[in-house]
Amino acid sequence: MATAKSTTTNEGASAKQTKPKKKPGRKSTKVKLPEGLIPIEEETWLLAPLTLTLMRHNYTSVQNKVLMSILECLQNILRQMLNAGNGVSSLATVQRGEIANEKGGLSFNLDFRSFGIDRNHYNELRSSLKMLPAIPVEIPFKSKEGKRYRKVTSLCDVFIPEEKYKTYVVVHIDKEVAEKLVTFELGWHRLGKEVVTSSNNKYTQRIYMYITAWTRVGRSVMSSQELRKWLQLEDKYREFRKLAARVLDPAQKELEELARAGYCDCYFTYEKKYTGYKKAGEPDQIEFRIYKSPKLVNNEDQAVFDRQYEQLQNMIMKHFGFTQREIESLMKRINEQNIQEMITKVSTIYMMVHDDEKGEIKDIKAYVYKAMDNFLNETMDSYEEIKD
């Protein structure tokens, strides 16, 4: 809003003299919001397997935007798996690229417009795409015997048309890699595509993807060394204060600004954790405290979870006669990562109790509660182990 100018020179001088001086050394902590932001009411919500979120890589911000478009192409198959509740995928449904993937993996065309990148930067985008097959990724891998590994590979091959005005790329993902990405064996969560594509800070993008997986729980703890490995910073920012200043603090400020303005569904704060007598330097752990945006709205994936949550709660109330306090003690530990497993577990426990014709279970209510309580404790520990 325009303000009237003083017509008296002395008045102007007086105004200058009485204007409070800025305190030296004080800087605004407000982050300039990027252009092209989408309100969370209009956000493109994507289902993200935890396997993909915890994948270690050193992608640029542009390559992270490409990763979001790849994830978007997998949404139909991921939603089918979620709705079926069996985690079985059919890669044959994602063979839409103009160049077929003869090895049985995934093939699809990606239009440059889907990356959220200005046309003036398409040459930079082409360069980033050319580098994708050469950048190693480490994917969490669990064998049939339950043993954990890190599969080191590359995410995809790309086919870039030589014609200058062809603004798309053909992406191929090998079947073995695709089968590890298109799985809910470690759990799943949802994230906003535009939150990632609107940011040009690769660490903001990565940390946002991470904290969305633990929004419902409200916290997550990661060892300092695991954080460095996950972000590929083992040999960079050797002093933790520099890592905090260059990585954690800018991401925290940007995500909080976005969340409070209604352009992001969550944000975080963090706390350094030390063991023993050490109270400074490299912390042993980083505890992320995760908060929902004040302007968070319901969405399709939230509705799916809410239906599952209600179904599970009704099953427990109907079959086992727990008190409201006992039910709340169990349900407060339910999240997107363990709800499907818990539904299956409750069904199994019910059948076991129902088929106990010999009456070997003396106190059914106590037995069932302990079984559920132990199972939830184990699943929470399992998700923490994934990050260690």
pLDDT digits 0-9 by tens, 235-251? 999 999 999 999 999 99
Helices (H), 113-239: 122-131, 175-181, 193-197, 202-212, 224-230
pLDDT band of residue 322 (cuts 50, 70, 90) is: confident
pLDDT tens-place string over residues 262-311: 999 999 999 999 987 877 889 999 999 999 888 775 555 666 777 788 88
- Residue 31: CB atoms within 10 Å: 17
pLDDT band of residue 90 (cuts 50, 70, 90) is: low
Assigned token pair, 229:
């490995």
Supply the pLDDT for residue 27.
46
- Whether the per-residue pLDDT at 131 is higher than 70: the answer is yes
Assigned token pair, 310:
């209600």
Q: Which of 141-150, 247-256, 291-300, 311-320 has the lowest mean pLDDT?
A: 291-300
Could you give the 3-state DSSP secondary structure of residue 158?
A: strand
- Whether the per-residue pLDDT at 163 is higher than 50: the answer is yes
User: Residue 179 burial (CB < 10 Å; 0-12/13-18/19+)?
Assistant: middle
Assigned token pair, 209:
């993807």
Type of residue numbered 44: T
Supply the pLDDT for residue 97.
84
Mean of pLDDT values over 107-128 = 91
pLDDT band of residue 31 (cuts 50, 70, 90) is: low
Could you give the 3-state DSSP secondary structure of residue 388?
A: coil
Assigned token pair, 144:
């049939």
Q: Identify the bridge partners of residue 49 per DSSP, sorted by sequence position.
A: 188
- Whether the per-residue pLDDT at 133 is higher than 50: the answer is yes
Mean of pLDDT values over 158-162 = 94
**Euclidean distance between CA atoms 160 and 170, whole angstroms:** 7
Domains, the chain, with CATH or none: 35-186 (no CATH), 199-296 (1.10.10.10), 301-386 (no CATH)
Is pLDDT larger for residue 312 or for residue 259?
259
Q: Which of 54-58, 172-176, 313-317 has the lowest mean pLDDT?
A: 313-317
Mean of pLDDT values over 300-324 = 76
